[in-house]
Amino acid sequence: MDNLPQGDLLQAALRRGRPKLPSYTVAVVESFDAPSNMRRVVLSLPQGSGFDYLPGQAVVMMIPTGEGEFGRRDYTIRTMDRQAGTISVDILKHGETPGPRWALSARPGDRIDIRGPRGRTVFQKDADWHLFTGDETCIPAIAHIAETMPSDAKAFIFLEVEGSDYEVPLESAADLEVRWLHRRGEPAGPSNLMASAIADFSLPAGRGQAYLIGETSNVRRQRHDLIARGLTREQILSEGYWRPGRIGGHDHVDD
Ligand SMILES: Cc1cc2nc3c(=O)[nH]c(=O)nc-3n(C[C@H](O)[C@H](O)[C@H](O)COP(=O)(O)OP(=O)(O)OC[C@H]3O[C@@H](n4cnc5c(N)ncnc54)[C@H](O)[C@@H]3O)c2cc1C
């Protein structure tokens, strides 16, 4: 097992069950606005931390919630610069909530505790085609998986954003078909937008793998639709990243 490449070791650990999450105190290097209404925060890992992850995985950040208290918020690792010993996260500025508030106020040298990496929404190499769906909170995961996918992979990507100004270029060596869905002023959250796009998506021949992330009820609807159309549970990785009224955390969507 120890002779496996690092990525395969991480995949094997994921298959074995919920890994114990290591924790790190990291320092803000810089923060700046990023496309799709995000704030990117670059974080410096402790020297020799040995931190590693698979594209699509997240860290749990202990975000200040006021009066000396902290709350857990999951943010996807958008980039890692191994040379510099940094990772970055893109935090959606969706409102006056602790995550974006912290991202907007983060200054170089600020320290924050993180745990991770965590998450099973990572590239599954044994599929003939891949289907990714999500909203803005999923752009970091989907963009990072896309840019690290092998050139012989075929992927269909559906991303929901407010409008065309919020689209971002997706880099990949793989063959990507990307479709942007626009809310056009409708609030983010439970809606028919992604569910109808996926209902209209004709499943290609061969073994498919779906990665459904985003608002929990939207993820659940797509999952049920794909199962009704013949995908097995093993062919669908799905996770609720947020939902109206929920504070931090994530929802398992495995029914
Ligand atoms: C594995 C994983 C990876 C994630 N990666 C990212 C990422 O890379 N970037 C990112 O921005 N988010 C990401 N998220 C989602 C993020 O963790 C949640 O949106 C989280 O609730 C944000 O914390 P907050 O402090 O802004 O809001 P909270 O204090 O947690 O929530 C307050 C209220 O805000 C509303 N709300 C929360 N999120 C949203 C939203 N996206 N849009 C509209 N309303 C919302 C809800 O009504 C909620 O009750 C990820 C989630 C998971 C589980």
Confidence of residue 67 (pLDDT cuts 50, 70, 90): confident
- Whole-model pTM? 0.94
Quote the ligand 1 centre to 48 CA distance (angstroms).
30
CATH code of the region 17-118 = 2.40.30.10
100 Cα nearest atom in ligand 1: 26
DSSP state of 78: -
Strands of the sheet containing 208-215, edge to edge, are 175-182, 154-161, 129-134, 208-215, 236-242, 251-252
Judged against a pLDDT cut of 70, whether residue 2 lies above it is answered with no
Hey, where are the domains in the chain?
A: 17-118, 129-252
DSSP state of 254: -
pLDDT over 90, % of the chain: 92
Mean pLDDT of the chain: 94
Alpha carbons 54 and 105: distance in angstroms, whole number: 28
Contact 122, 147 (CB under 8 A): no
Q: Report, as an integer, the average pLDDT of 28-39.
A: 98
Alpha carbons 140 and 239: distance in angstroms, whole number: 15
Element (H, E) at 223: helix 216-228
Quote the ligand 1 centre to 81 CA distance (angstroms).
25
- The beta strand positions in 35-128, using DSSP E, are 38-44, 58-66, 69-76, 79-81, 86-92, 111-118
Confidence of residue 11 (pLDDT cuts 50, 70, 90): low
The CATH architecture to which 129-252 belongs is 3-Layer(aba) Sandwich (3.40)
Q: Which is more confident, 14 or 225? A: 225
**Scanning the structure block, which residue is given the tokens 């993820």?**
219
Judged against a pLDDT cut of 70, whether residue 18 lies above it is answered with no
pLDDT (tens digit, 9 = 90+) per residue, 171-202?
999 999 999 999 999 999 999 999 999 999 99
What are the angstrom distances between the C-alpha of 240 and each of 87, 89, 106, 202?
Answer: 23, 18, 27, 24
Quote the ligand 1 centre to 32 CA distance (angstroms).
19
Confidence of residue 16 (pLDDT cuts 50, 70, 90): low
| Two structure tokens written together for 71 | 């709350």
Confidence of residue 1 (pLDDT cuts 50, 70, 90): very low
Q: Report, as an integer, the average pLDDT of 83-111.
A: 98
**Pocket of ligand 1, beta carbon within 6 A:** 58, 73-76, 89-92, 94-95, 97-100, 119, 137, 140, 188, 241-242, 244-248, 250
Judged against a pLDDT cut of 70, whether residue 12 lies above it is answered with no
Q: Report, as an integer, the average pLDDT of 2-26.
A: 67
Alpha carbons 139 and 160: distance in angstroms, whole number: 9
Residue 174 sits at the vertex; the CA angle it makes with 172 and 177, to the nearest 5 degrees, is 90
**Scanning the structure block, which residue is given the tokens 């998506």?**
201
